[in-house]
Amino acid sequence: MDYESFRYVYSSSLKEKLQIKIGTLEGENQKPPDYKKLLDQSFLRYSGLYSESCPSFQVKLELFNKGKSICLPVTTSYKAFTKRWSWNEWIQFNLNFCDIPKTAVLALTIYDCTGPGKTAVIGGTSISLFGKNGLFRQGMFDLRIWLETEGDGNYPTKTPGKGKNSSKFKCKDWENWRRNIEMVKYKRLTGWTV
């Protein structure tokens, strides 16, 4: 077997569902709590933003193409955290890999429960699924979280994963597809205008 050869798979050949792994969130909330808001809405004392322990956040993932959602958003399951935010959960989208356009952007938004049926945005970030050369991004990524901002699916985005003025929150271990594919080369799909 020749190990010097270059191997790749066209994304139009992959009929598998897209899977992304959410790893850990590191950092701390740098914004001081709003005690006036806490006095006005007493149920907020049970929310994660006002607790001293590690609150139970939820991450919403959504895929966008040119600012429009291309599939239903997916969220992480509930998990009670003790010392750190560590989901280590594979999220599967209801979208085949072959149907993802080259300009697709993944937007992540972190939510906290602030009462019955209410959520508050902790922060958000976004990253393109394909690099400059049309190759699917692989590996782990430290993405910066923009406080009190939902993940933006536009390109260029207002919440880039790598920015200068974002917070210390980081969404770590952003991994992608489970299969051991060395390179995934993008091929223009029928029906998509790139």
CA distance 79 to 91: 14
Q: Read off the pLDDT of residues 126-178 as tens digits, 9 standing for 90 and up.
A: 999 998 888 889 888 889 999 889 999 998 888 998 755 444 444 443 333 33
Residue 189 has a pLDDT of 34
- Given a contact cutoff of 8 angstroms between Cβ atoms, the answer to whether 24 and 175 are in contact is no
What's the predicted TM-score (pTM) here? 0.76
The 8-class DSSP code of residue 134 comes to S
Residue 156 has a pLDDT of 85
| Predicted confidence (pLDDT) at residue 35 exceeds the cutoff of 90 | no
For the ranges 39-43, 59-63, 149-153, the lowest mean pLDDT is seen at 39-43
Query: What is the 3-class SS of 34-85, one letter each residue?
Result: CHHHHHHCHHHHHCHHHCCCCCCCEEEEEEEECCEECCCCEECCCCCCCCCE
Residues 6+ apart with CB under 8 A from 52: none
CA atoms within 13 A on the CB side of 73: 18
**Mean of pLDDT values over 71-84:** 89
More confident residue, 71 or 112: 71
**Mean of pLDDT values over 19-30:** 83
The 8-class DSSP code of residue 150 comes to P
What domains sit in the chain, N to C, each tagged with a CATH number?
Answer: 9-185 (2.60.40.150)
pLDDT band at 63 (very low <50, low <70, confident <90, very high): very high
Residue 100 has a pLDDT of 94
- Given a contact cutoff of 8 angstroms between Cβ atoms, the answer to whether 149 and 131 are in contact is no
CA distances from 35 to 41, 49, 51, 83 (A): 10, 11, 12, 24
Percent of the chain's residues with pLDDT above 90: 36
Residue 127 has a pLDDT of 94
